[in-house]
């Protein structure tokens, strides 16, 4: 029959408890104690209780609803995230104790707004909120809008948002005091192309392999609408088309007739064509434009090298 006993001894003012369990009292074997992480707050608290009031550990009710030893803490609170738990030194002592910020927050800290989805109400709400927040933080620093969006349609052409979603972001951009630098990093289609062209003059950019496209607004699915309602929707789409033509004409410095003519069918533009059409101002050739602008003129090279011009000799 198994038996357990606990013996105590006093050594240098500290109590030591030893537990013996065996099938035979005459063959007692000391239970091994696993190594303890000295930085573990739970084990430190447990050791402190064992040293000062061991009866708290020995006289525990059998029907307690609290998991073992958790009631030793005054207000046991679980950590919010696993990254906040202090890890064992043997596991990873340099692991961060707080979770890193999410990617949109990092971009917003750099005054970058990334539009990477079609312009649906949730995207419009977030973009306008970020624009207002960045202006409130600093009305003089520029705001950067990176665009990779199919506008109010999906890539297969199906309408997912109303044209007013793009107009809402456009109006918010026009109300800001900040310079707005727009950059097309993938696709800028339809209303997204309007946002690209609406950046501050001289600060509208496009990656070398990005695409821009302007097209007429599309009639949303009419479903089981009566004919009169379909006619009303079609009239509204024509009004939105005329508005889009006027705004693109304003920012690309083309005539409304020219814009309306190319918009009769989807008009795709690579970076070079978009620059010629007036949608953008510069093509970002992997940063080479900035590199070339920082290169000194030949006269400055000669002057810094100590070479005198021929006309000065």
**What would the pLDDT profile of 24-51 be if each residue is shown by its tens digit?**
444 555 545 555 556 666 666 666 776 7
Residues 6+ apart with CB under 8 A from 306: none
Beta bridge partners of 303: none
Q: Report how far residue 31's alpha carbon sits from residue 52's, in angstroms, rounded to the nearest whole number.
A: 22
Confidence at 85, pLDDT banded by 50, 70, 90: very low
Q: Report how far residue 127's alpha carbon sits from residue 167's, in angstroms, rounded to the nearest whole number.
A: 12
- Burial class of 111 by CB neighbour count within 10 A (0 to 12, 13 to 18, 19+): middle
**Does 244 have pLDDT greater than 90?**
yes
Residue 249 near residue 221, CB atoms below 8 Å: no
Confidence at 101, pLDDT banded by 50, 70, 90: low
Per-residue model confidence (pLDDT) at position 89: 46
Beta bridge partners of 115: 147
CA angle 288-292-293, nearest 5°? Answer: 115
Overall average pLDDT of the 67-78 stretch:
50
Q: Report how far residue 90's alpha carbon sits from residue 296's, in angstroms, rounded to the nearest whole number.
A: 54
Closest by CA position to 116, among listed 179, 188, 171: 188
pLDDT single digits (tens) 180-226: 999 999 899 999 999 999 999 999 999 999 999 999 887 766 667 78
Domains of the chain: 101-221+228-305 (3.90.226.10)
- Alpha carbon of residue 206 to chain centroid: 21
217-223 long-range Cβ contacts below 8 angstroms, 24+ apart = 217/152, 217/163, 217/190, 217/241, 217/244, 218/153, 218/157, 218/159, 219/159, 220/159, 220/162, 221/159
Overall average pLDDT of the 129-150 stretch:
93
What is the 8-class DSSP label of residue 73?
Answer: S
**Does 227 have pLDDT greater than 90?**
no
Between the alpha carbon of residue 189 and those of residues 184, 295, 305, 307, the distances in Å are 10, 35, 50, 53
Residue 216 near residue 263, CB atoms below 8 Å: yes
**What's the chain's length in residues?**
313
- Burial class of 142 by CB neighbour count within 10 A (0 to 12, 13 to 18, 19+): middle
Confidence at 81, pLDDT banded by 50, 70, 90: very low
Confidence at 127, pLDDT banded by 50, 70, 90: very high
Per-residue model confidence (pLDDT) at position 109: 85
Q: Report how far residue 247's alpha carbon sits from residue 207's, in angstroms, rounded to the nearest whole number.
A: 23
Per-residue model confidence (pLDDT) at position 159: 81
Provide the whole-model pTM.
0.61
Residue 150 near residue 196, CB atoms below 8 Å: no
């Amino acid at each position: 029959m198994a038996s357990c006993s606990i013996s105590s001894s006093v050594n240098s003012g500290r109590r030591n408890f030893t537990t013996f369990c065996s099938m035979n009292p005459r063959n007692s074997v000391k239970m091994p104690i696993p190594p303890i992480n000295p930085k573990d707050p739970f084990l430190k608290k447990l050791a402190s209780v064992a040293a000062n009031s061991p009866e708290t550990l020995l006289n525990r009710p059998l029907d307690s609803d609290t998991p073992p030893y958790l009631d030793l803490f005054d207000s046991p609170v679980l950590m919010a995230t696993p990254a906040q738990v202090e890890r064992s030194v043997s596991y990873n002592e340099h692991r961060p104790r707080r979770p890193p910020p999410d990617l949109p927050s990092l971009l917003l800290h750099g005054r970058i707004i990334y539009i990477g989805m079609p312009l649906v109400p949730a995207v419009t709400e977030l973009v306008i909120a970020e624009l207002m927040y960045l202006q409130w933080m600093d009305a003089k620093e520029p705001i950067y809008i990176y665009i990779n969006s199919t506008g109010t349609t999906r890539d297969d052409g199906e309408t997912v948002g109303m044209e007013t979603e793009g107009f809402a972001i456009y109006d918010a951009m026009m109300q800001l005091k900040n310079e707005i630098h727009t950059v097309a990093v993938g696709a800028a289609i339809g209303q997204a192309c309007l946002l690209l062209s609406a950046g501050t003059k001289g600060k509208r950019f496009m990656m070398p392999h990005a695409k821009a496209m302007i097209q007429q607004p599309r009639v949303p699915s009419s479903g089981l609408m009566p004919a009169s309602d379909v006619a009303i929707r079609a009239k509204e789409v024509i009004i939105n088309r005329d508005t889009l033509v006027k705004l693109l004409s304003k920012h690309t410095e083309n005539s409304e007739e020219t814009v309306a003519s190319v918009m009769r069918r989807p008009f795709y533009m690579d970076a070079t064509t978009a620059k010629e059409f007036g949608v953008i101002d510069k093509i970002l050739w992997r940063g080479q434009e900035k590199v070339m602008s920082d290169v000194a003129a030949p006269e400055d090279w000669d002057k810094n090298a100590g070479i005198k011009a021929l006309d000065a000799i």
